[in-house]
């Protein structure tokens, strides 16, 4: 038997605990589209949790007015400045302006961790229905438009009403987080966990984002039938 045949095999490193998440408390969170209901609600919740937040809009004055309304140390800026000043940038713009907004901000978002929470939806007399972008999903469109950014997808299924309600202490829901890098999805999961009651759950790579974005159409139907603000919980994790 050769020496190499008899050499002991090095022990495998223990598997990383999926709940061992990084500390994101010192990171600056930017919210593009921060004057809309979803973006404004997310900005409020993160600032309430102690995160430094910059709220972005196409017009700096509009962003600052919304920031002043929310308080909690939130600052307003135009979208480009918001992107430049932030470590993590949440994209909460309307689907109709998604592509054009991100294309214009490609340089400002270079090197940033981008979290896309846009849901491509259509509406008719039967209610909400999912649209499928040419790239497959809003998140995949973002990744195609932002080759120098680290694109993830999360925060799709949150009620803007609950996010904005100061009487609601905890948001009882899980956040599906998708991305190509575990280090990036861990950061987003940790950011979600900053909001009391919320967990971030890894849900696959960006190629799986379409069904996550589309599920919002079902939740809208649930909310209309039951007069609710439905969220999601993943069991057994």
Q: Residue 54 pairs with which residues in a beta bridge?
A: 30, 75
Is residue 8's pLDDT more than 70? Answer: no
Residue 236 CB partners (closer than 8 Å, separation 6+): none
Residues 177-190: what's their mean pLDDT? 97
Residues 11-28: what's their mean pLDDT? 87
Is residue 235's pLDDT more than 60? Answer: yes
Phi, psi of 17 (to 5 degrees): -65, 120
Is residue 3's pLDDT more than 50? Answer: no
Which residues of the chain form beta strands (DSSP E)? 28-32, 52-57, 75-78, 88-91, 113-116, 121-124, 127-130, 150-153, 173-179, 198-202
Residues 12-37: what's their mean pLDDT? 90
Separation of alpha carbons 162 and 3, rounded Å: 65
Q: How confident is the model at residue 5 (pLDDT cuts 50, 70, 90)?
A: low
Tell me which DSSP letter residue 66 carries.
Answer: H
Residue 223 CB partners (closer than 8 Å, separation 6+): 159, 229, 230
- pTM for the predicted model, two decimal places: 0.91
pLDDT per position as a tens digit, 60-105: 999 999 999 999 999 999 999 999 999 999 999 999 999 999 999 9
pLDDT per position as a tens digit, 194-212: 999 999 999 999 999 999 9
Considering only 4-8, 12-16, 154-158, 160-164, which range has the smallest mean pLDDT? 4-8
Is residue 4's pLDDT more than 70? Answer: no
Neighbours of 212 (CB within 10 A): 22
Which residues of 104-154 form beta strands (DSSP E)? 113-116, 121-124, 127-130, 150-153
């Amino acid at each position: 038997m050769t020496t190499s045949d008899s050499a002991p095999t090095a022990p495998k490193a223990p598997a990383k605990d999926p709940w061992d998440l990084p500390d994101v408390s010192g990171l600056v969170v930017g919210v593009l589209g921060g004057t809309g209901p979803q973006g404004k609600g997310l900005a409020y919740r993160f600032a309430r949790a102690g995160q430094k937040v910059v709220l972005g809009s196409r017009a700096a004055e509009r962003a600052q007015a919304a920031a002043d309304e929310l308080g909690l140390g939130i600052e307003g800026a135009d979208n480009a400045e918001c992107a430049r000043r932030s470590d993590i940038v949440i994209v909460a713009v309307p689907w109709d302006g998604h592509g054009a907004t991100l294309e214009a901000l490609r340089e400002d978002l270079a090197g940033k961790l981008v979290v896309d929470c846009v849901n491509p939806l259509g509406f008719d007399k039967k209610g909400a229905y999912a649209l499928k972008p040419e790239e497959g999903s809003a998140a995949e469109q973002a990744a195609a438009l932002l080759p120098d950014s680290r694109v993830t997808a999360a925060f799709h299924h949150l009620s803007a009403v609950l996010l904005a309600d100061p009487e609601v202490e905890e948001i009882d829901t899980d956040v599906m987080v998708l991305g190509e890098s575990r280090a990036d999805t861990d950061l987003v999961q940790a950011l979600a966990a900053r909001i009391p009651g919320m967990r971030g759950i890894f849900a696959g790579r960006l190629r799986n984002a379409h069904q996550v974005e589309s599920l919002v159409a079902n939740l809208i139907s649930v909310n209309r039938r039951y007069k609710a603000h439905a969220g999601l919980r993943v069991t057994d994790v």
